[in-house]
Structure 1
Amino acid sequence: MATKQTAGREQLGEFAPQFAAQNDDVLLGKVWTDEQALSAHDRSMITIAALIAMGSTEQLDAHLNMGKKNGIAKDEIAAEITHLAFYAGWPKAWSAFNRAKQIWQNDD
């Protein structure tokens, strides 16, 4: 059974309760837990790609860590970011590599 998500309510609950509820109950509570549609690994790969493409570096660290927990290997993340460099931009790839290097630094 999936762990109940509370990040939205913890961080934004008082300021933006409707957004927080949608984040926790729909996005993280329903969409992210639907393993029949996409595996957690694939969902993480897609999310990381979208965040890199948009330049959303504030959210990238959390999703890189989640992706690693969801089974993304060091060689997979390196290949993904390299591929995205040609479509999303070289500077965005550099930024993503700097973050990914820290997260996968102990993986051989």
Structure 2
Amino acid sequence: MTSIKQTAGRDFLGDFAPNFAHFNDDVLFGENWNDTTIPLKTRAIITVVALMAQGITDSAMVHHLENAKKEGVSQRK
């Protein structure tokens, strides 16, 4: 599996909100998203379902739907 290197927190808010940048880049993506305990395809499904349950239909949903498709998640699943 390819490791995901996230730098968006530092790139956009690192000087303004360094704690947010740390939790977004290092904890959420660095530790949690790259943890292989749950397969990436399953995590993609869980993420889409969680966004749907919250009624989130913005660009975050679009991004995660595209990611789920890339991981082989079908529309039926």
Common fold: TM-score over 0.5: yes
Aligned to 2:61: 60
TM-score scaled to structure 2, two decimals?
A: 0.80
Q: Which one scores higher on RCO, CA 8 angstroms, separation ≥ 6? A: 2
Corresponding residue number in structure 1 for 2:17: 16
Structure 2 residue 64 is matched with structure 1 residue 51: no
Structure with the larger helix share: 1
**Which structure 2 residues correspond to residues 1-108 of structure 1 after superposition, within 5 A?**
1-35=2-36, 37-58=37-58, 59-76=60-77
1:26 & 1:45 partners in 2: Cα distance?
A: 20
Q: 1:49 to 1:3 in 2, by over 3 A?
A: closer
Unaligned runs of 5+ in 2: none
Larger radius of gyration: 1
Closer, same or farther: CA 56–10 of 1 in aligned 2, 3 Å: farther
- How many Å separate the matches in 2 of 1:47 and 1:21? 21
Say if 1:13 and 1:55 are closer, same or farther in 2 by CA, change over 3 A. farther
TM-score (norm 1): 0.60
Superposed CA RMSD in Å reads: 1.6
Inter-partner Cα distance in structure 2 for 1:53 and 1:61: 15
Q: Matched residue of 2:76: which SS?
A: helix
